[in-house]
A and B are shown apart, each in its own frame.
Chain A
């Protein structure tokens, strides 16, 4: 499998990465090298091997359902560009 130039640009758009044509071409080459590596890995016979969902062979620890966090919004909002009435303000988004 390999990516076309428009596909590279689409992926960049989905990730909100601004990319020039020259950068897109360079990224295309690098991404396709990665796909070659993936192809090589996929050619290995994995018959009978359970798929791995995580790099470590451990399972999820669960937390008791208790409220442990206190209100610290003033601290968090100290680094926000704009705040009003306790809300974070962002450029208008509307459906």
Chain B
């Protein structure tokens, strides 16, 4: 039987506020245990939560960036369950009236554009962290993370493969960083996904029973976990079994998902409006203020690069894949005063190649946009050819200095002196009479051989377009 996979994602993006969502404790990562857990976070009796304006603004910014409705009035609810890293016995979240409703996100999957509809995005607080090692049979609880603001972003079941789910997660990851609401650090847990996965026979309308895989904190784990889960469900169904709706965990070492028994009655959360928090009202002015501060979004920027700079869809897409890349590109072409296509091809070609080989992100590039501009300027000014520029690029990458200095030190300056080139070419023509005759007999290839000889005679420093021109002139004459 042919099966169809159906996936919906819930993503927890940690909002990049300085303080927690309901208290004035710091959210900085990496502090010693419990030093950033204040009376509100440890749930001492009598404390009251007060909502962080920065968290609300970030939620609104996200909503506007995905074209969602911003709820003018939203409500906080208590989600009740018992776990030692949740000292209140409930998590403050939003249930019936979330701050962001609807919206969508588009991305490329291979060569095709895919749009994923969003159901909602709501504000909530994170729980603390449980440590299970080395405490003589007990668990250690660190509440520094308790109360950290999260935006939970929920999609419709619109994805049909692990590949699409990863493409969506990457696009979302790029967007939250682009609009500056989340640092996107997946190792530190700032961006983590839960995947709802089900399968159904192709052509059937109703959804199959789903399983939820929790806490996937890398794109690779997301892909592996979904692929494993899809195979598991299909095998189960083909053997005449049934999928049981449950929460599962992915074990990256065994590359398997397994049932989380402790969550068996976790779906009975008994939500109710939190009496400690009043309804959140967001005024039209606040929304308009935040809208006016939004940066140009990736999709709009991509479209502008294609229109204004005449870049290909591929180049424009790559250059707007993250804010850092787009900033680098814009700095580069700003310094060059144009050269849109030259700049684009050097970033997507040489620079990305070198970064990939070194395992670096563009923000860690040893070559800044101004330095690269210095190199490309030398090409623009015809001081060096594009071919020589690649050698200069390597030297710059290895920290040998600025482009102009390297060109001077290594004597790479292109020979553009017409008199000198003519002398070289006369010599080449005299020494290669056979090629000259072949060319005159109509063999185009012979011309390239002569160009090659002329380049060789100048040790690669001859200006290629000038050599072409002079050769043509002399051969014609």
Contacts and interface: CB of A to CB of B under 8 A. Distances in A.
Interface of A: 10, 13-16, 53-56, 58-69, 71-73, 76-77, 82, 84-95
B56 A86 contact: no
B23 interface: yes
A15 to B, nearest CB: 8
What secondary structure prevails in chain B residues at the interface with A? loop
Size category, B interface? 35 or more
B132 A56 contact: no
A71 B50 contact: no
Given A53-B75, A61-B50, A63-B50, A87 B19 contact: no
Contacts of A69: 19, 23-26, 36, 38-39
29 contacts: A10-B268, A14-B268, A54-B273, A54-B275, A59-B281, A60-B277, A61-B51, A63-B51, A65-B18, A65-B52, A66-B18, A69-B39, A72-B38, A72-B39, A73-B35, A84-B140, A85-B140, A86-B33, A86-B35, A87-B140, A87-B142, A88-B140, A89-B141, A90-B84, A90-B138, A92-B137, A93-B83, A93-B132, A94-B139
A65 B84 contact: no
B368 interface: no
B396 interface: no
Contacts of B75: 53
- Which of A14, A88, A93 is most buried by chain B, counting CB atoms within 10 A of its CB? A88
A94 B53 contact: no
B249 interface: yes
A69 B84 CA distance: 23
B53 A62 contact: yes
Interface in B11-53: 17-19, 23-26, 32-39, 42, 44, 50-53
Interface in B93-136: 97, 130-132, 135
A91 B137 CA distance: 8
Nearest to B215: A95
Contacts of A16: 82
Interface in B140-193: 140-143
Interface string B248-282: 01000000000010100100101001010111110
